Every structure is written in structure tokens, then in C-alpha cells.
Structure 1
Amino acid sequence: MLKKRTSIPVHTMADSFGAGIAIGKASVEDMPAFDTAMQSHRDDYHIFFLQEKGTTTGEIDFQQFKIEHSAVVYVHPNQVHRLIAFENVTLSFWAISNEDLHPEYMKLLEEITPAKPLALEKEIFSVISEAVSLCIKISERNHEKLYHALLKDSCNTLVGLVASQYLAQVKSADTLSRFDVMTKAFKAILERNFITVKKPAEYGQTLHISSSYLNECVKNTTGYPVTHHIQQRIILEAKRLLCYSDKSVKEIASELGYDDYPYFSRLFTKVTAMTPLTFRNKNLN
């Protein structure tokens, strides 16, 4: 009998690597070691993959991707993901816990989430690849007196290099308009509060602006009103729970802050054009 999944499977840093930082290199021959990564799950750490060659197919939050070039992939702890297939792949990977991640880099990673696989130009790929090689060498020198500090600093430098490449794809702070700034602040607050805060006016109050002005900022920047973003974030979490846990619709509604689960079901149906159970049956993992 299959074990009942009471919630989304989570791979912990302790179980996966036994330490707060891990880094290594793998080739297609080593991929059986990644069997657990081919089941949909969350990690309780930040993980990065640097593909040197080959083809990788994966999925992050219901979006499939295929990499056929030199690229980097970042997965945030909140995201449900899995690896689907490999072909002649050589890649490096590194994982780092919240405790070992530089606070400034953690903030930057929050800003670029959700991040898509990022193709790298030859020059920056070479720089990051060399940094990875150095980090791997440092990770092997566990006899050093300052081993953990050296590994932590070198891996954080690696995280910073990757984050800077993602940030290069978006507007710099110097070019952000007032609308952009308020939208960015709203999205950050939404990510932390979507379960408990459902009304646009409450987000406006937190940001010390009117709900109408917040709506103007968000709609001008994204093309969609505040309510749309609130609903989309709630529905994303609902989709994760429907597909990757065995919780009932009523349990999921309650977990997402809805005591009136028929209302939640109607909201889900309105946003996705299918009922929660239809979505679950269609996307059984």
C-alpha cells in the first residue's frame, strides 16, 4: 500500500546532505543518485544547478522546462519541482540553507522568485564554472581550521554571481518608477501573508497607501489588478497541495485560510476553469 502523503514531500538539508552547505558535480552515469529528485517535492534549502552540457528536462510549479545549452537553474524552497529526464548531461549543483545564506543574497533571491532557467553567455559561464570548481576543492579540504567559514564564504560568492545574472534580466533599482517600487513591495508582502491577508485594502494599509492607488500601481506595472495577484498566489498553493498531498479540498481550504470551503472551491473553479477535484485527477503525480 502506498504511504499516504499528508502534505507536500519535503527534502531536508540534514537528510539530503547532512550539513548546511553542499556542492558537487555529476554526469549522466551518476544520475541514479538523483532518483529522489525525480519525484515532485520541495526542499528546505536553496538549490542551484549549473549545466555544462547535455539536455535536461524538469518541472517547477507545473511549468516544464528543457535545457539544451549551458545554463543555471535556481529553485527556491517554496517551489515544488522535479527532474524529468537527462541526456548526456554533466552538471554541477550546490545547496545552501537559510542559516548559511548571506541575508542580502536571501533578499535578492526572494526578488527573483520564481526564477526560470537562465542561459549563460560563454564568458560568465566560464567564470561561474571556475568558481564552482574552486568551491568543490574547498569542500574537500575539511581538515582546514576555518573550513566551514571558507566553504560558506565561497558558496555565497557563487550564489551572488548567479543572483547577479538573474537580476541583470530585470530593471535596476535606479530605473524603477514609483509604480514599480510599490508593486515590488506588494509582491513581497503578498508572499509572506497570502494565507492570512486576502483583501487589497489590507495590503494598501500595510504599505501606507490607499487600495485604489495600490491597484493603480500594480495594474500599471503588471497589467493585472491586486485581486488577480492575490488569487493567483492562493491558487498556486492550492494546486501544489492538490497534486502533491492527499489532503481533502476542505483541508486545503482551511490550510489556505478559508473556513467556507465551498467558497474556496468556487474561487478555484473561477480562476482555473475546473473544480479542485478535476484539477487533482487531471494532474495526478
Structure 2
Amino acid sequence: MTDERDTGISIEKITFPYLPPLHDPSIVEEGRFAHRHNTHTFHLLEEGTVYIDVDFQHYQMEPSSVIYIHPNQVHRTTALGQVTVVSLAITNENLNAEYLNRLEHLAPLKPLVLAPEPLTLIAQAVALCLNVFKRKADPLRHSILKDSCNALIALILATYLEQTQTTPKLSRCEMITKAFRELLERNYTTGKRPAAYAQQLHLSTAYLNECVKNTTGQSVSHHIQQRIILEAKRLLYHSDQSVKEIAATLGFDDYPYFSRLFTKVTGLSALAFRAKSRD
């Protein structure tokens, strides 16, 4: 999916005899291993069985199903037998602001099997997007492509929302926990202590911890550590940074402390995790 990366939108319908296509010289080396993109990616599986690892969670996809992958997520896809998939990649700038906000609140997401009615609508939207994508000479092509791809994303998003919808009104503790998670996603490299998040939310540390624990079953410190370690795992898995460089990237001046924290949370040293995950 490289043809239209300069416009920030790419959509293709691809058929492979197997994934990854190891003997295809056009496939860059990183595509064969765990990687992540700077785009929001949607995969609609039309044919075949696909095995996809997203942030160290293993999923099996069957037709007709869809998955959304957030830009931060590390993933790798494999399959035996013929696979037909429609893949859409889109940057923040081209994504409707409301859809972007909802997707970020929903991520991470599992593959979703599509019921007949939403599948029909999504298939029609896919056909429109693919047809517009081919119209290279159309002076309004990018605008039409952007609008049609956002319509497709809205249909996918609506289907996810139907499956994940909870009670319409959140309790105060649920609202506080939601706000904390949003802050954590933006600040985990700089905010390592519960008190920092409590201060930003104008709450006492004890009350923030009570709300988060009542809502999720885990403390604020647990969530902070898990988010940091998730990013560390991602970097160990798909980057060539040293453990010391990863510690610095994640805001740790004390490299030995980071190493001890990683081992405490995962049960493995950082180097042992890297070797195991790449095996």
C-alpha cells in the first residue's frame, strides 16, 4: 500500500496465495515481521483465514470480518491458503474528527464478524472507494476519496459501537476513569506517578485510585506500569533500539530501575522478551 501515501489515503483489494508474500520482491522486509504504521488501518477479510497478532494478542479472522489497527499498535499477519482482503490506510489529517475521537476511545479492538446487513452496506462503500481510488485524472479525486473513505469508516465504526455499547450514562467513577485513561495515553512517558494524574484531574490521589480501582479492578499505578511496559514491548519487538535507548524514550533516566520494572511486570528481562518475541 504505497501508491498514494503522499495523499494520506490508500485503499486496495489484494489477493495473496499466502501471507506474508515471502517471495514478492515488492514487499519491503519490515512487512514480513512485526511493524506499525503512522496511519489508521482497516482490514476487511473477504476470503481465507488470517492469523493476526496485535500488541501481543493473537486473533484468528474468518470471512467476512473487519479489524481496526491504531497507529500505535504493533502487528503481524500470517495466513496459509488464498487470502482476499480490502485494506484502507488513512492519516489523522484525512480522518473525520468525530470518527478519530471515537476510534481512539474504542482502541484496542478485536476482529469483528460482520452480520449480513452491515456487510452489505460496507461492501457497497468499499466498491465506491475502490472505484474512486482508480480515477487518477479526476480533479476532485482526493476530496471524493476522502469523503467516501470516511463514509466507509463510519459504517465500520457504527458496527463496532453496536457491539461495544455499554450503559448510556456513565457513573462519576467511570467518567473519572475514562478521563484518567485519556491522560495516561498522552502522558505515560512523562507521568509516572498517580499524583501527577490526580493533580491534572483536580482530584485527590486517594479518590482517583478509588474510582479507577472500583471501575477496572486495578490501581492507578498498575495502569501506568502496564501502559509503559506495553510500549516497551512494542519497541523491543519491532525496533532495533537498545534497552537503554528504549528506557530513555519512555522517560526513564534510571536505566536499572526500568530494567527491574520490566522484569517485575513481565517475568522476563527486556532482552529475554525480545529474543522470545522474535523467535
What's the TM-score once normalised by structure 2's chain length?
0.91
Contact 2:4 2:10 in 1 (8 A): no
* 4+ runs deviating over 6 angstroms: 13-16
1:25 to 13, 24, 49: 13
Q: Aligned match of 1:176 in 170, 173, 188?
A: 170
Note the C-alpha offset of 1:18. 3.7
- Superposition pairs of residues 54-93 of structure 1, within 5 angstroms: 54-93=48-87
* Compared CA separation, residues 157 and 45, structure 1 to 2 (3 A): same
- The 1:86–1:25 alpha-carbon spacing in structure 2 relative to 1, beyond 3 Å, is farther
Pick the aligned partner of 2:122 from 102, 121, 128: 128
Q: CA deviation at 1:66?
A: 1.0
Q: What does 1:105-144 correspond to in 2, within 5 Å?
A: 105-144=99-138
SS at match of 2:224: helix
Shift of 1:91: 1.6
For 1:213 and 1:229, the matched residues in 2 are separated by 15
Change over 3 Å in CA distance of 1:114–1:261 after alignment to 2: same
Asked whether the 8 Å contact 1:139–1:151 carries over to 2, the reply is: yes
Q: CA-to-partner distance for each residue in 1:209-237, whole Å, 9 max, x for gaps?
A: 22212112211111111111100000011
Question: Helix, strand or coil for the counterpart of 1:259?
Answer: coil
Out of 258, 269, 275, the position equivalent to 1:264 is: 258
Q: Does 1:101 align with 2:95?
A: yes
TM-superposed CA distance for 1:137, in Å, is 1.1
- Aligned position for 1:3: none
Q: Which has the higher contact order (CA 8 A, sep 6+)?
A: 1
Shift of 1:16: 7.1
Partners of 1:243 and 1:142 in 2: how far apart?
A: 38
- 2:16 partner amino acid: V
Query: Using the alignment, how far apart are the partners of 2:203 and 2:162 within structure 1?
Result: 30
Indicate conservation of the 8 Å contact 2:194/2:221, yes or no. yes
Give, in angstroms, the shift of residue 29 of structure 1.
4.3
Q: Aligned partner of 1:184: which letter?
A: K
Q: Distance in 2 between matches of 1:150 and 1:54?
A: 31
**Counterpart-to-counterpart distance in 2, 1:143 and 1:282:** 49
Return the alpha-carbon distance in structure 2 between the equivalents of residues 16 and 40 of structure 1.
22
* Aligned partner (choices 198, 202, 205) of residue 204 of structure 1: 198
| Greater CA drift, 98-107 or 247-256 | 247-256
1:56–1:87 Cα contact (<8 Å) kept: no
1:240 Cα deviation (Å)? 1.5
Distance 1:98 1:148 in 2: 15
- Provide closer, same or farther for how the CA distance between residues 249 and 143 of structure 1 changes in structure 2, counting only shifts above 3 A: closer
Provide TM-score, normalisation by structure 1: 0.89
Determine the C-alpha separation between the residues in 2 that align with 1:125 and 1:163.
13
Measure the CA separation in 2 of the matches of 1:86 and 1:144.
38
Deviation per residue, 1:15-37 (Å, 9 max, x gap): 77443111121123496368443
For residues 15 and 80 of structure 1, what CA distance do their matches in structure 2 show?
A: 22
**Counterparts of 1:43 and 1:197, CA distance in 2:** 25
Q: 1:24 to 1:30 in 2, by over 3 A?
A: farther
Secondary structure of residue in 2 paired with 1:43: coil
Counterparts of residues 127-276 of structure 1 (less than 5 Å): 127-172=121-166, 174-276=168-270
User: Counterparts of 1:103 and 1:86 in 2: how far apart (Å)?
Assistant: 37
Q: Distance in 2 between matches of 1:14 and 1:142?
A: 15
Structure 1 gap segments, 5+ residues each: 1-12
**Cα deviations across residues 53-101 of structure 1 (Å, max 9, x unaligned)?**
2101111111121112311011111111111224332221111111111
Provide the rounded CA distance (Å) in 2 between the counterparts of 1:53 and 1:151.
25
What is the deviation of 1:245?
2.3
Q: Structure 1: which amino acid aligns with 2:15?
A: S
Percent identity, please: 52
Q: Secondary structure at the match of 1:175?
A: coil
The alignment of Structure 1 onto Structure 2 pairs a total of residues equal to 273
Whole-Å separation in 2 of the counterparts to 1:114 and 1:219 = 20
